[in-house]
Structures are given as C-alpha cells and as structure tokens.
Structure 1
C-alpha cells in the first residue's frame, strides 16, 4: 500500500485551462495518450503548470511565509493556538508533520510532474520549432523554479526529470545531492534562456528570456558562483527591458500590475474563476477578521516586527509605502487603534482579505540590481564602482542619500568589502520586505544564526536552516528518503 501511495504521489495530476491564461478548466477527464495532439493541448498543459504557482504550497501562501516568518522581518500577531503551524515555523519548533512542509513538497512536485509530462511529449508534436521551443523553455523555467524552491527549503530532494512509468520507478526516487539538483536547475535555465521570447505583450505572466536570466543569476548567487551571477544579472540590466518605477508606492497598485519593474509575477485575478484570486492581505494583516465578516476571532499571521520597522532610515519613502497603522474595512469605515504597523504592499483599500487581484512578485528589477551589486562586491571591492551605482539607484528612488567610499558621514560611508556586504543586506531587507526573501538571503550569506539568535531569543542551530522532510515521504520510502538531520522522530 505504501508503494502505491508513493506512485500516486508522483504521477501526473493534469489540469489545463482555456484560452485565458488564468481561466482554468480541468481536463483531467482527458486521456493523457489522446490529449497531447496539437498546439492548443500543449498550450493548455503549460497553463496548467503555471497554475501550480498559485497553490498554497507555492506563491499563494506558504513559501513566502517561510521567507518572512522564519526571519526577523515578521511574526505572528496572535497566539500559538491560532494557526499553530505558523507559530512553529516562526519559533523553529519544526514538526515533521507540519502542513507547510507538506504543501511546499507536494505542490512543487505536482508542478514538476506537469512540466515533465510536457517535456516528454513535445518532441513528437507536429508544430513549428518556434512553438515547441517556447513551450519547452517555459516548462524548463517552471521546473527550475520548483526545484530551486525545494532545494532551498529541504536541501537534497528527489530529482525527477521525466514521467515515472511504474511503481518501482517511483519507489526508487530517493533524495539527490543538492549540488546535482542545482546543476539541473542551471541547465534548465540555460536552455530556457535560449528558447524564451524577450517580451510577452498581452501574455503577462508567461516566462521570458529576462526571467530565465534573472532566476539564473539568483541561482548562481546562491551557490556562490559570483562571476556567472554577474554575467547573467548584467545581461538583464543591459537588455533595456526593465526599469525602476519612479515612485516605489506605485509598485503595489493593482492598476499597475505587470509594470516595467516586473520581471516575473505569479498572476492572480479573482474574476478568472475559483482559486485565481490572491489572499495576501489575510497573511499580512493585524487583527481584522471581525471587520471582514470572515472569522470572529484571531489575529495577524505575518505582521512586521519592531526590529524591521526600526530598520528603515529616516525619510525612507518605502516605509510609508510598505507599512500603515489604519485601513478602510469593507463597509467603508476607517479602522484605527491597531497594535503597531502592518504591511500594505498586498492590501486593497477598502480591504479585501481573499480573492484579490494582487500578483506575487517573484523577480523584479530592484532585486536584480541589488544581486548584481552583491556579486560584483564578492568578486572584488571597488570603491565607488558599478556596485555602488546599482546600490544607489535603489536608495535614490527611496529618497535617501547615496552611500560612497570615503564619505565624511560615517552613516553613508562604505570603505570595505564587508561594509558593502552589510549595506546590501540592509538595503535588500527594506526594499524587498514582505516579498519572501529575507530568510533565504540570511541563509545564503551564512548570516542567519548570527543575525537571528539575538533577536528571536531562540536557540537557532545549523539544522534549522533546512525544514524537515514531510514525514509521509519518509514513511513511504524509508530507504530512499531519509529525514534531515536534527528532526529525528
């Protein structure tokens, strides 16, 4: 029975969609053998793969919570009895049966298996090479995202690059060394770069060459291949496809979705059908449920820490564009007297807790500029060189003075490689706050334990840098899937 469960955990569960990128319509009644016959079928199949990004194991919910709640950016605004699995995530009281771990694992592999089905069949399609190339590029881009998320959360994971045909194959799918997983991610993205279009006018949300290059730069930065990170991120900058919006607050207006700073967003639109709206407001708010007629009690799940609020420099325009102390409820009443500030990046006003049109920003141009600055500095510290230019582009938009080498103001002086590292860490924190980066940034730079232990007053240890493998996976395949160290049961 365990072998059968594993097999059905790994086989493809296919859903597709109609002509609209967001208007999903299940095609699970179609036979896989008869479905993949024309361009429309493959287009629907790739849309189905994109839809996995909107699941609660990806960018609808849990993945970005790992990036924020586990860091010093946010905390639970209620008690452990209210969504205890969020509280455990925050306190590093990680359970092998936590629903967050389960969903990230299961939904990531659902997406991987959807794209593997496409990749296994695309070569047999009678269609133009341009069409087949684009679908292949999108599938490999998506597979890279899913595996990048998995390997950063769990470390070594099963590497499955084709459809599993038998129970035996599924049973033998053990964990693969993360270095090999990263090699696959890089190869997928290099191929995607060569096959994806530069622009997707009218098809926002589909992958582009720039998205593949930007993600590849982030992957290289994560594995400390700074030279290749610099090359790929510079390619994105020199493509002239993206630019910083003049006003930081405009990034978060729904009317500005898919703007020039957006490189890859997960698309949400409530009118496209069930499950296509976003619920980010609910995840980033203080005690507000009674005002939403949603629950009668409860509190915020992901509210900013006092430490994050204090991290903004005086006159930083991003602070008021990211944080607020009041909101307008669904009846048009202004709600005040809340305990502290809360994130408004994903917050309609009047408030709407679920089914919003907010997209999720996976990659944006400001992130690319800061990553490129970081890579350049790791290669060699160059006083007032290009890395400073990229850092200061972000600061100028925020209304802040530039930081320079040799500055007479100590608060604005960066005179060493280590000082530049800390400046980038600070700038990424406030520029990208609430976007799911902070925890992964601290882990990537080796600073998580040093930074978080004094703030969280917890005994954060090396093994906490990875989440436990879902116990269901260990139970099903005890020979191939061993639990991460520190999480023995």
Structure 2
C-alpha cells in the first residue's frame, strides 16, 4: 500500500514564514483523506497542505544524501542511524520509511489539486494557474528525489485509492521523463520574480520561475545533459534574483539569506529540532551522528577556507569514539538557522562548472575553473589552478564537499558520477554496491503486492 492512502495519516499544516497573511494563520490539522476543495475559500488551505507535505520530505532527504555517504559516523544508540553509519542498511530503517512517506504525501496532494481545482468555480484564472503549477513542480520534485533514492518507483498520477493500493514500480527513466514534463508545465505558469527583488523569504519559500529553473538545472546535470545544465544554471545566475552571501558563515548561521533559492521554513510549533528525524536533535542534542573524520579533514583543509564554519569542535565532546566535532548548520527554534535549504545559488555555479568541464570548457572567463574560483574567492580559499579535464572534474567534486557539506547531496553526487564504489569502499568495509539505491520500505512491500524489492535487500 502506498503510504498516502492510509486513513490514519495526518499532515500538520503550520504557518510558513512569509509576508502573505494567509500563510501566517494558526496551525490546523488536516486529514489527507478529508481534503476539501469545493469552493474558492478552500484553495489556500489545500495549498498550505501541499507546501507542508513538501516540507516533510526535507529532513529525511538530507539524511539520505549525507548519512548514506561518507559524511557521518554513528555515535549514538538508534538502530536507524547505526545502520546508516556502519553501512548495513535494511528495508525496515525508519528514515527510509519517512522519506518514502514524505514523497508520496506530496504527490497525493499535488494530484488532488490537479484533479479537483479545475472543477471549482469562482477561482481566478491567475490563482488556478499558479496553484496548479506549484502542484506540478512539487510532484516533479518528489518524483525526482524518489527516482534517485529508490530507483524504479510507482508513478502515481491519481488519488484513486483502489488504484494506488496495488501499483507496481515504473522504470526510473520513465519517472524522470515525467519529472521534466512536470517542471516544464510548472515553469509556464509559475510567477516571475523581478531582478533585484529583496523579498528573500518569499523568493525562497514559494515556487517561482527562477527556482523552478534551478531545479531543472540540477535535473539536467543528473541526466548528463551538459549543454542544458550549463544554459539553465546560467539563466538562474544571471537573473539577479539571488546573490552570493558575502560571508560563508552566514549560510550556516542564518535562515533565508539572499543566496537561498529554495528553502523550507519552520516556526516554534514545528521546529525540526525535535523528533527522530530532526537534524538538530541528531547532530547536536543527542549527537546520534557526528561528522566523519574524513569530512572534518576536508572542511578544515586550506582549500575549504572559511567553509569549516559548517562544523565546530568542543573538547567536552572528545571522548571514546567521539571526535568532538558537531554539524552547526541546523539549529533549534530559538536560533536563526533552523530551516533546511534545498537549493542555493552556489550550487548553480557548481552545476555550471561541472557541465562546462564535461564539455571541455575548462579555463578562461567562461570555463569551469572560473566558476569554481568564484566560490573559492568567497571562501577566502586559494584559487583552483588545474587545467586537465580529469583534474578539473575532481576539483568540482571536492568543491561540492566544501561548499555543500551537510546539505543532502553527497550520496547522490557519488552515485550519479559513478564514484560511489571507489569512495565508499575505502570509507567502510561494509559498503556494498546495493547501497547505491535505498531499499523500498519493508512495510510498503508487505502492504502492496505489486511492489518488488531492490536487489540485495
């Protein structure tokens, strides 16, 4: 059974940080199976439900990208994180289950909007187009994360429960074709953002044409469409909507910086600092996982520059197997860094650098090295000076470690570049090629007879 058809499922709809009054209301609870979209006044509550479901993917997505790879070592008592830290992952892992649930919660509500909104009279055409476009974007994003995490996944395009209770997996390539179709459809009707806009919270919280194009740039990179990855990243960089933060430490310590392209916000009621899959709780409160010695060395290297502000050291934590280091990017409700950034402008420079390097555009003003050095300059790190293509590509890989550490991308990067086996087998004797995809959650296999497990699990 796909998670979103369970009657017990409740999505907490909480006020998103925004200047829009409708999204600052008191929290309400919404049963997915009781979603109502019958009149114009129903549109905004369901839209908030969509954003809330989308936000629910963020923490387990960060866990997938960082904990499956070489960024962490287990330091606590939870079985889920011991499995991820020691590379002995099973299909009963709670984080694996949580991400699957978040993906299909989002898809369910996106499908609901696309089915029901055309039938509601009295909704302005502009609202209808925008909310439908948001639903398409978020369904595309969810399927993108699902395909690159689990491989072949069910392509769910309806809210019909009997259909969704017995749906087989669709080939990853077909899922990704559907992702691009959703992104392109969304791009048509998402709102534009003027160059130089200073409303950084709205620009990063709500879907618009530029952050949709940023997601497309990542899509094209993963699909190895180097020309379109370069072109789309250039469009985002050149839009003037987002600008690089002067000090890298602000990216660690502050929410909604001018660099944030897509960010999910939290408030006192739903801060991710508590709970089994909350990042602050795992990194700081419980210290369930700590930065691996490898990533500590990388972030403290000369090439990283000021990006070592991502982590911090305390002598009080230095004991036993604890190396004393802590991830600082995810704070509590009382701190100004409790959000989760999904895309920021620095990634666009890294996407363009990799795409250019793959096309042999290595040096000069429009070369890969120039893009890497934009980030090196910001981080007060020495400039990249290599010129051979293989060396530039390795420099891009290292730069993604320095720049994007603990932003949920490392595992996906290693797999998509076919570097996972070389890097991870050196990191852990337990690494196995089956870990290049997560298993389908065991409870989903048990409840849906049409689902088949990934090999090796």
TM-score by length of 1: 0.82
SS of 2:397's partner is helix
Deviation at 1:137, TM superposition (A): 1.4
Q: Distance in 2 between matches of 1:149 and 1:63?
A: 8
Q: Distance in 1 between matches of 2:90 and 2:109?
A: 28
Deviation at 1:466, TM superposition (A): 0.7
Instruction: Tell me if the contact between 1:11 and 1:113 (Cα under 8 Å) persists in the aligned partners.
Output: no
- 1:259 aligned onto 2:257: yes
Deviations 1:262-301 (A, max 9, x none): 000011111xx3467674322223xxx5xxxxxxxxx522
Q: Distance in 2 between matches of 1:482 and 1:148?
A: 20
Match of 1:321 in 2: 309
Q: 1:142 to 1:24 in 2, by over 3 A?
A: farther
Match of 1:104 in 2: 99
Match of 1:332 in 2: none
Instruction: Tell me if the contact between 1:12 and 1:113 (Cα under 8 Å) persists in the aligned partners.
Output: no
Structure 1: which 5+ residue stretches go unaligned? 290-298, 328-334, 405-413
Instruction: Tell me if the contact between 1:17 and 1:44 (Cα under 8 Å) persists in the aligned partners.
Output: no
Deviation at 1:14, TM superposition (A): 6.6
Structure 2: which 5+ residue stretches go unaligned? 16-21
Instruction: Tell me if the contact between 1:108 and 1:150 (Cα under 8 Å) persists in the aligned partners.
Output: yes
Deviations 1:366-419 (A, max 9, x none): 011101111111122433343222111000011012223xxxxxxxxx122111
Q: 1:116 to 1:309 in 2, by over 3 A?
A: same
Q: Distance in 2 between matches of 1:147 and 1:24?
A: 27
Deviation at 1:223, TM superposition (A): 1.7
Q: Distance in 2 between matches of 1:378 and 1:428?
A: 16
Deviations 1:61-81 (A, max 9, x none): x22112112111111123xxx
Following superposition of structure 1 onto structure 2, how do residues 171-250 of structure 1 map, counting pairs within 5 Å?
Answer: 171-199=165-193, 201=199, 203=202, 205-250=205-250
Task: Tell which deviates more after alignment, 219-228 or 377-386.
Answer: 377-386
Instruction: Tell me if the contact between 1:277 and 1:355 (Cα under 8 Å) persists in the aligned partners.
Output: no
- 1:142 aligned onto 2:123: no
SS of 1:284's partner is helix
- 1:8 aligned onto 2:8: no
Q: 1:22 to 1:481 in 2, by over 3 A?
A: farther
1:161 to 150, 157, 160: 157
Instruction: Tell me if the contact between 2:307 and 2:403 (Cα under 8 Å) persists in the aligned partners.
Output: no
TM-score by length of 2: 0.88
Match of 2:38 in 1: 36
Instruction: Tell me if the contact between 2:272 and 2:280 (Cα under 8 Å) persists in the aligned partners.
Output: no
Q: 1:9 to 1:416 in 2, by over 3 A?
A: farther
Match of 1:410 in 2: none
Match of 2:329 in 1: 345
Deviation at 1:430, TM superposition (A): 1.0
Deviation at 1:304, TM superposition (A): 1.1
Deviations 1:341-368 (A, max 9, x none): 2111224xxxx48997611010000011
2:367 to 355, 367, 386: 386
1:458 to 408, 414, 430: 430
Match of 1:375 in 2: 355
Task: Tell which deviates more after alignment, 84-93 or 338-347.
Answer: 338-347
Q: Distance in 2 between matches of 1:31 and 1:131?
A: 22
Q: 1:307 to 1:22 in 2, by over 3 A?
A: farther
Q: Distance in 2 between matches of 1:29 and 1:71?
A: 33
Deviation at 1:213, TM superposition (A): 0.6
Q: Distance in 2 between matches of 1:29 and 1:417?
A: 50
What is the RMSD of the two structures over their aligned residues, measured on CA atoms? 2.7
- 1:435 aligned onto 2:407: yes
Task: Tell which deviates more after alignment, 242-251 or 5-14.
Answer: 5-14
Deviation at 1:133, TM superposition (A): 1.3
Match of 2:18 in 1: none
Deviation at 1:458, TM superposition (A): 2.6
- The number of residues matched between the two structures is 436
